[in-house]
Amino acid sequence: MRLLKLAAAGLAALGLTAGTALAAYPEKPITLVVSFAAGGNADVVARITAEAVSAELGVPINVVNKPGGAHIHATMSVVEAPADGYTLFQWSPPSFMVVPLTRKVPYSPSEDFIPFYAGQTASNALYVRADSPINTFEEFLEAAKAEKLTMGVNNLGAPPNLSAVQMASEFGLEFKTIALKTVPASITGLIGGQVDVAVGQIATINAFKDQIKPLIILDNNRQPFFEQHLPGVRTIGEAVPGKAAGVWVHGGLAVKAGTPQEIVDKLIDATAVLGTEAFQATLPPGIDYRFVHGTEAVGDLLQSGIDLYSPILDGLGLLAK
């Protein structure tokens, strides 16, 4: 009897809170969990995004940085929070793609989350020093076949490295790969003569115009921003038909799975502002952007990344089985 009463009371309470939450969402500040430390590129974009979405929703969105632990600590903190739409997650290639593919993680990006928006993106390009004797991708292929070139990437297993690995296996090349921690560090390593070639992002060229030259774009799908940064530079597939070297770098927002549909819909409506040119104009230079909106479209985008990286990581023996 008592048990029944308790259960009834519990149900009523649940119904009540759920009802008011739905009616009034959002009625209190929202937390946005970022798995990177404050001050980095990812954090900067998260904060600008939070500001724009917060204006739409009418409540503050507080950015909380939870760096470290291979992004798992931050991701799990969202999984462990209630599915009420008051905890958002800024997902990124490590938390939603590379780490779940290479590690046993206590979460599943597709089952534990509802990703509904993607914005920040990047594509990679292969660079050499401005005074390098290598001028074209064809000359590069010859040089790389003649001797093992030193290849600079930011981190092993990160997208620039994976693009380089795919290119190497497509053309049967071998490199001495050096990880230099960040993309600007790989490029200065290139300028300083530490490495012969380096993979950077397409936008990287803007900061080093006179010191480096691009050879090829490491992306299978041509994006509008390619011409803006690297006019006239070909992708691998355009240079050598039939060959591929892809990249998957996207970041966006997700809520925990189980969040009521009405709340997800409100969030999708509010994030429509991120597709406007006015918002995109506020992004720092060097951030490339491709607006993908809605749970289905973002789900397809994530699947395309899994399809691209699984075989590459498997080839490296890094795929979590």
Instruction: Answer yes or no whether residue 39 interacts with other proteins by CB under 8 A.
Output: yes
Instruction: Answer yes or no whether residue 65 interacts with other proteins by CB under 8 A.
Output: yes
Instruction: Answer yes or no whether residue 94 interacts with other proteins by CB under 8 A.
Output: no
Contact yes or no for 124/247 (Cβ under 8 A): yes
Mark out the alpha helices in the chain (DSSP H runs). 2-24, 41-57, 72-79, 93, 99-102, 109-112, 137-146, 159-171, 183-191, 225-229, 236-239, 261-271, 277-280, 295-315
| Identity of residue 279 | F
| CA count, 13 A, side-chain hemisphere, 228 | 13
Q: How far is the CB of 68 from other proteins (least distance, A)?
A: 5
Interaction pattern, residues 133-172, with other proteins; x per rule: CB under 8 A: ---------------x-x----xxx---------------
Q: How far is the CB of 181 from other proteins (least distance, A)?
A: 8
The smaller minimum CB distance to other proteins, of residues 14 and 38, is found at 38
Chain-centre distance of CA 71, in angstroms? 13
Give the whole-angstrom CA distance, residue 68 versus residue 252.
19
- Residue among 22, 102, 139, 294 that touches other proteins (CB under 8 A): 102
- Beta carbons within 10 angstroms of residue 141's beta carbon: 19
Q: What angle do the packed helices 159-171 and 295-315 form, to 10 degrees?
A: 60
In terms of Cβ atoms closer than 10 Å to its own Cβ (0-12, 13-18, 19+), residue 24 is exposed
- Residue among 79, 179, 239, 297 that touches other proteins (CB under 8 A): 179
Per-residue tokens: 255: 């809520």
Instruction: Answer yes or no whether residue 131 interacts with other proteins by CB under 8 A.
Output: no
Q: With CB under 8 A as the contact rule, which of the stretches 17-25, 59-67, 121-129, 269-277 interacts with other proteins?
A: 59-67
Residues 6+ apart with CB under 8 A from 72: 95, 99, 103, 105, 106, 107
Give the whole-angstrom CA distance, residue 3 versus residue 7.
6
Interaction pattern, residues 267-306, with other proteins; x per rule: CB under 8 A: -----------------xxx--------------------
Q: Which residue has tokens 């904060």?
A: 47
Instruction: Answer yes or no whether residue 182 interacts with other proteins by CB under 8 A.
Output: yes
- Residue among 185, 239, 268, 306 that touches other proteins (CB under 8 A): 185
Q: How far is the CB of 256 from other proteins (least distance, A)?
A: 17
Instruction: Answer yes or no whether residue 2 interacts with other proteins by CB under 8 A.
Output: no
Residues 6+ apart with CB under 8 A from 165: 312, 315, 316
Q: With CB under 8 A as the contact rule, which of the stretches 97-105, 118-126, 220-228, 294-302 interacts with other proteins?
A: 97-105
Q: How far is the CB of 210 from other proteins (least distance, A)?
A: 7
Q: With CB under 8 A as the contact rule, which of the stretches 11-19, 116-124, 191-199, 264-272 interacts with other proteins?
A: 191-199
Instruction: Answer yes or no whether residue 192 interacts with other proteins by CB under 8 A.
Output: yes
Report the run of H or E that residue 113 belongs to, with start and end. strand 113-121
The smaller minimum CB distance to other proteins, of residues 242 and 284, is found at 284
Measure the CA dihedral 248/53/50/76, to 10°.
Answer: -70
- Residue among 207, 239, 268, 301 that touches other proteins (CB under 8 A): 207
Site of interaction with other proteins (CB under 8 A): 37-41, 43-44, 47-48, 51, 63-70, 72-73, 77, 102-103, 105-106, 148, 150, 155-157, 176-179, 181-182, 184-185, 188-189, 191-195, 206-211, 284-286, 318
